[in-house]
Amino acid sequence: MKTLCVAVVVLSLTSVGQPAPLVCEKLLKPADKAPDFPGIWYFIALTSDTCVVTTLLNYVLWPSYSMNITSMNTPNVYNANYRIKTYGYCGTESEDFLFENNTVFDDDVNNFPVIQPEMLLQSGCSDCFIVKRKDKNIDMLMLFSRRQNVSAAELNEFEKQAECLGWAKPEVLNSDHDFENCLDDVDIDNPELLPLIFQRLRNKYEVPFKCMSESAQTFHKAVYEWAQQQWATLW
Ligand SMILES: *[C@@H]1O[C@H](CO)[C@@H](O)[C@H](O)[C@H]1NC(C)=O
Ligand SMILES: *[C@@H]1O[C@H](CO)[C@@H](O)[C@H](O)[C@H]1NC(C)=O
Ligand SMILES: *[C@@H]1O[C@H](CO)[C@@H](O)[C@H](O)[C@H]1NC(C)=O
């Protein structure tokens, strides 16, 4: 029991060093103007209040993700046509959303405004927008840009925003947006996907393990190291 307490104290101590409150107040301000939505946007990076989400997304699925937004006939209503690519497999999906009062409401057009509003945060990046969303009690911050890549400074600002919220360091998504070359339609039950996921995890197991151990908070460092070692020797 004693070692458990020590582990928890050490974990809490490592989370000090957040940016100054004033800096954070500025960084977490809502966007003061709406982005010009229509056109292509690339999903660059995301962070969450639980590292499990970022870890799953970036270490298991590792997708690239873009959307083509078009204006609908109703004011403030748009259609987003998503394209996702994971391990060479591609998929599309389409969804309408309403943007009003700096907030994105997603559902079908006939049924606005609905659940899970998403707020836009200000961004120093001129062709980006940042969405803060809450989904089933999981909070997320997502960075989209007109460009497939943002600069280090722009990514750094996004990291600061995550830090201000006390969230995990953002994960940068895959930037392979070549949808001309796809193996097949994405299907999570496809048995060929599993070995590819394992292959990625095999090389990148450190972050998922760190997340798992920190999430559990009951993992002693020795257990973590042991598990890490076990994982490495499994392959
Ligand atoms: C985006 O969607 C619009 C409307 O459906 C379409 O005209 C346009 O070609 C699309 N752009 C791309 C790059 O797919
Ligand atoms: C936006 O704000 C206005 C004024 O407060 C309100 O009347 C309107 O219902 C809000 N829109 C949505 C979608 O909540
Ligand atoms: C993104 O940036 C990386 C390195 O900064 C570069 O190698 C890559 O080609 C860029 N990708 C695109 C699509 O611009």
* 195 located within any domain: yes
* 128 located within any domain: yes
Q: What's residue 202's pLDDT?
A: 73
The closest-lying atom of ligand 1 relative to the alpha carbon of residue 39 is 1
Q: Cα separation of 77 and 184, whole Å? A: 32
* 205 located within any domain: yes
Q: Which ligand is nearest to the CA of 178?
A: 3
Nearest Cα residue to 209 out of 186, 191, 193, 225: 225
Could you list the residue range(s) of the whole structural domain that residue 113 is in?
33-215
Q: What's residue 227's pLDDT?
A: 52
Q: What's residue 14's pLDDT?
A: 41
* Distance set, CA 8 to CA 55, 214, 217 (Å): 21, 9, 6
The number of distinct structural domains making up the chain is 1
Q: Is 113 in the pocket of ligand 2 (CB under 6 A)?
A: yes
Burial class, 151, CB count within 10 angstroms (exposed 0-12 / middle 13-18 / buried 19+):
exposed
Ligand 1 mean position to 127 CA, how many Å? 19
Alpha carbon nearest to ligand 3 atom 7, residue = 149
Q: Assign residue 174 the CATH number of its domain.
A: 2.40.128.20
- Confidence class for position 199, pLDDT limits 50, 70, 90: confident
Beta-ladder partners of 86: 89
User: What share of the chain in percent tops pLDDT 90?
Assistant: 30
* 15 located within any domain: no
Tens of pLDDT, residues 34-84: 889 999 999 999 998 877 777 777 777 788 999 999 999 888 899 999 999
* 67 located within any domain: yes
* 130 located within any domain: yes
- The tokens for 95 are 């969804």
Rounded average pLDDT over 81-91: 90
* 56 located within any domain: yes
The closest-lying atom of ligand 3 relative to the alpha carbon of residue 175 is 13
Q: What's residue 53's pLDDT?
A: 75
Tens of pLDDT, residues 201-233: 777 766 666 776 666 554 445 545 555 554 554
Ligand 3 binding pocket mutation candidate from 42, 65, 66, 175 (most atoms within 8 A of CB)? 175
* 173 located within any domain: yes
Q: What's residue 74's pLDDT?
A: 87
* DSSP output for 70-121: EE-SSTTEEEEEEEEEETTEEEEEEEEEEEETTEEEES-GGG-S-SS-EEEE
Average pLDDT, the chain: 78
The Cβ-side half-sphere exposure at 179, using a 13 Å CA radius, reads 16
Ligand 1 mean position to 38 CA, how many Å? 9
Ligand 1 mean position to 45 CA, how many Å? 23
